[in-house]
Copies of this chain bind each other. A is one copy, B any other.
């Protein structure tokens, strides 16, 4: 079953202890798609400017990603510039240039409206809701957001949470939006806002997953460590890559149960571990499903007692 992702396609400039790169192909929807494509047909909904390099369009298409609703508008492509220091756990944003993103009105073809698996990667929650309401038969809807929207569009975000099945957030966002410092409590509170499932990304510390509906009344908690990566070159897009692997596997499976969720979390984890090993999409562009499978075995070996 195919999947549709709404998000950003960006030109990222990053500086890390391993070097500096200018205007790399990036953005939440691009990173998501590069992992999800390993499992299913991906439809990408985003906007770029007229300055967007053609080679990136050619590349994304070559990955089997459907770009029929990628808008190309007059103006500049969304750009992000950031730097990572020390343990590379958090980015310092140096500059953000919204460009055409500031007037983004997602388009979607009639055929795409029927897609049942939907991921709303990080953009303005009002745009996310607007897009979601265009979709005819949402079956599994995932949502990502970020602190900026939690602070500036909290009401929109809370309203949107009622419409989604899975809310994906990092640990700080989870704490901020829920008001709870214990992450299990935070997940439960966030779930009470709407989504049956909550997935908290903890960077180098892995993920925590909560579902209130999969098992009994007390809910179900899964906790996976990150795949241990010694040489983290550029963590940009790791969370979106994780979401792409996770949602891609769920879309392919076509069903949700504890075993499928755990496998999806594991696929997301190893997909993200590849993403951080090189700049931008440099590692994930070479990735095939067999690479994930091999690392999955090593990953399991890291902790299964």
Contact = CB atoms under 8 A, between A and B. Distances in A.
A298 to B, nearest CB: 10
B305 A262 contact: yes
Interface string A259-303: 100110110000000000000000000000000000000001011
A56 to B, nearest CB: 31
A141 to B, nearest CB: 23
Given A181-B87, A228-B184, A305 B266 contact: yes
B222 A303 contact: yes
A304 interface: yes
Contact of A184 (B182, B206, B221, B230): B230
A300 to B, nearest CB: 7
A79 to B, nearest CB: 28
Nearest to A232: B182
A259 B305 contact: yes
B225 A224 contact: yes
What's the number of copies of this chain in the assembled complex? Answer: 2
B222 A223 contact: no
A180 to B, nearest CB: 9
Interface string A100-124: 0000000000000000000000000
Interface in A160-180: 175
Interface residues of A, number: 37
A208 B228 contact: yes
Nearest to A205: B205
A269 B228 CA distance: 18
Contact of A223 (B87, B175, B303): B303
A263 B305 contact: yes
Nearest to A183: B204
A250 to B, nearest CB: 13
A17 to B, nearest CB: 9
Interface string A223-265: 1111111111000000000000000000000000001001101
A221 B183 contact: no
A216 interface: no
A224 B208 CA distance: 13
A108 B224 CA distance: 42
B206 A225 contact: yes
B230 A182 contact: yes
Contact of A262 (B182, B183, B205, B303): B303
16 contacts: A87-B182, A182-B232, A183-B204, A184-B228, A184-B229, A184-B230, A202-B205, A205-B225, A206-B223, A221-B228, A223-B226, A223-B228, A225-B225, A262-B304, A300-B305, A303-B303
